[in-house]
C-alpha cells in the first residue's frame, strides 16, 4: 500500500509539473494568436462543445466514477502538455527535415499528437494502474485528454480563421463561422475518438494475463489512433467531397462502433460485478442481499433517495460511501478471480472490507429496517 501511495504521489507530481511547463508556452502561443477580443471570442466558441462532451463521458463512467482530480488532470494534460509537446516535436522536425504541408498535416501531426496524448494513459498504466479497471476506464481517460487537446487547438484554429492568418481567406465572421461549424459542431468528437483507441488498448492491457498483450494492446491502439487521425487530416487535401466521404465512411461508423463498445463494456461491468460480488458474498465479505442495490444503476439511485429520506444528507453520503466501496471491492475481486490482481491486492481489499463493515450498520435499503443511527440523523 505504501508503494501504491508513492506511485500515486509520483504520478500527481509528474503530471502537475508537466502541465505547468506545458501551460507556459501554450498560453504564450494563445496570447500571440490574435487580439484579445478575437481570442476571447475564439475561446468562448471552442468551449461550447466541451461541456456536452465531458457530460457524455461522465455518463458512461457511472459504475465506478473515476476520481475527478484525475479526470481534470487528463483535461489539463490534453490542453497543455499534449499540445505543447506536439508543437515542439513538429517544430523541431520541420526545422531539420522540412516537411511539406501535406506531410505535416497527414503524417507528422497524427504521429506526434497521438503520442503526446497517449503518454498520459501510459503514465496512468505505469503509476496509477489501480485506477484502471478495464476498457471503459481507458475510454473515459482518453476522452478527457482528447477533449482538452481539441479545446486548445480549436481556440488556435478559430482565432486564425477570424484573423485571416490560416491561409484560407481574408478572415472575418464568415470564416470564423465556417471553422466553428466544421470543428465544433460537425466533428467535436474527432480528437477524443482518435485517442480512445489508445484508451481501449490500455484497458485491454490492464485485464490481460498475457505479457505480450499488455505491450501490444496499447501499441495497437496507438497505431489505430494514428491511422484514423491521418485519414481524417488527409481528407482536407482531397476537397469537400473527400471530406464528406471520410466523414461518412470512416468517422461516423468509428464513432458509432466506439459508442457501442463503451455501452457493451458498461453492461459487461454490470455482469462482472454481479459475479465477483457474489463470490465475495459467499466468502462473507458483504451481504449477498446488497448486491443488487450496488450493481444496478436504477437501484443505486433508489437506495440513495431512500437513504436521503430517512437519514438526510448524512445518510445519503453514507449510502454513497458504502456503494462505492462495494463496487471497488467488486472490481478488485474480479481481478483476483481472473488471476491478475495488483501487487497491493490484499491491503486494498482489506481496506474496502473494513469500510464496508464500518458503514453497513448505519444504512438500510428499501424494504429493510431503518437503523436507529440512520433515522436519528
Helices (H), the chain: 2-31, 36-47, 50-60, 68-76, 83-97, 101-103, 109-127, 135-163, 173-180, 190-207, 211-234, 239-246, 252-282, 291-295, 297-338, 345-359, 372-375
Residue-level length of the chain? 377
Q: Out of 1-5, 32-36, 131-135, 204-208, which region has the weakest mean confidence (pLDDT)?
A: 1-5
What's the rounded Cα separation, in Å, for the pair 182 and 189? 11
What's the rounded Cα separation, in Å, for the pair 349 and 289? 20
What's the rounded Cα separation, in Å, for the pair 183 and 322? 42
pLDDT of residue 66: 87
pLDDT for residue 377 is more than 60: no
pLDDT of residue 189: 93
pLDDT classification of 123: cutoffs 50, 70, 90 = very high
Mean pLDDT over the full length of the chain:
88
H or E stretch at 56: helix 50-60
Q: What's the alpha-carbon Rg for the chain, to the nearest Å?
A: 23
Mean pLDDT of 73-87: 94
pLDDT of residue 78: 96
What's the rounded Cα separation, in Å, for the pair 194 and 143? 9
pLDDT classification of 133: cutoffs 50, 70, 90 = confident
Mean pLDDT of 168-192: 88
pLDDT of residue 107: 87
Residue bearing the bigger pLDDT, 134 or 49? 49
274 within 8 A of 295, measured Cβ to Cβ: yes
pTM exceeds 0.75: yes
pLDDT classification of 138: cutoffs 50, 70, 90 = very high
Could you count the other beta carbons within 10 Å of the beta carbon of residue 361?
Answer: 11
pLDDT of residue 222: 97
Amino acid at each position: 500500500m505504501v508503494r501504491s501511495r508513492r506511485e500515486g504521489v509520483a504520478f500527481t507530481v509528474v503530471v502537475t509539473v508537466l502541465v505547468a511547463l506545458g501551460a507556459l508556452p501554450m498560453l504564450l502561443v494563445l496570447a500571440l494568436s490574435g487580439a484579445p477580443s478575437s481570442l476571447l471570442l475564439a475561446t468562448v466558441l471552442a468551449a461550447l462543445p466541451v461541456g456536452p462532451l465531458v457530460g457524455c463521458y461522465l455518463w458512461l463512467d457511472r459504475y465506478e466514477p473515476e476520481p475527478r482530480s484525475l479526470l481534470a488532470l487528463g483535461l489539463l494534460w490534453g490542453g497543455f502538455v499534449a499540445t505543447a509537446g506536439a508543437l515542439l516535436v513538429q517544430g523541431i522536425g520541420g526545422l531539420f527535415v522540412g516537411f511539406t504541408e501535406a506531410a505535416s498535416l497527414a503524417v507528422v501531426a497524427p504521429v506526434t499528437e497521438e503520442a503526446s496524448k497517449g503518454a498520459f494513459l501510459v503514465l496512468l498504466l505505469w503509476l496509477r494502474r489501480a485506477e484502471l479497471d478495464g476498457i471503459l476506464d481507458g475510454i473515459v481517460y482518453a476522452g478527457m485528454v482528447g477533449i482538452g487537446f481539441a479545446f486548445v487547438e480549436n481556440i488556435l484554429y478559430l482565432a486564425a480563421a477570424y484573423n485571416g492568418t490560416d491561409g484560407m481567406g481574408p478572415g472575418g465572421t464568415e470564416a470564423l463561422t465556417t471553422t466553428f461549424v466544421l470543428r465544433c459542431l460537425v466533428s467535436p468528437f474527432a480528437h477524443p475518438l482518435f485517442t480512445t483507441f489508445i484508451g481501449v488498448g490500455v484497458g485491454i492491457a490492464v485485464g490481460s494475463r498475457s505479457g505480450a498483450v499488455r505491450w501490444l494492446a496499447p501499441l495497437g491502439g496507438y497505431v489505430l489512433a494514428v491511422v484514423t487521425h491521418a485519414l481524417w487530416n488527409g481528407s482536407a487535401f482531397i476537397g469537400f467531397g473527400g471530406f464528406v466521404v471520410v466523414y461518412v465512411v470512416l468517422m461516423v461508423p468509428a464513432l458509432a462502433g466506439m459508442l457501442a463498445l463503451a455501452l457493451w463494456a458498461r453492461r459487461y461491468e454490470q455482469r462482472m460485478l454481479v459475479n465477483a460480488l457474489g463470490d465475495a458474498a459467499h466468502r462473507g465479505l458483504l451481504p449477498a442481499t446488497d448486491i443488487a442495490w450496488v450493481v444496478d444503476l436504477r437501484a443505486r439511485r433508489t437506495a440513495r433517495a431512500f437513504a436521503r429520506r430517512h437519514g438526510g444528507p448524512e445518510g445519503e453520503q453514507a449510502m454513497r460511501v458504502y456503494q462505492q466501496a462495494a463496487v471497488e471491492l467488486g472490481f478488485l475481486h474480479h481481478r483476483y478471480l481472473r488471476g491478475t490482481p495488483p501487487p497491493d491486492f490484499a491491503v486494498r481489499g482489506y481496506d474496502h472490507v473494513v469500510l464496508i463493515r464500518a458503514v453497513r450498520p448505519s444504512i438500510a435499503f428499501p424494504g429493510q429496517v431503518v437503523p436507529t443511527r440512520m433515522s436519528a440523523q
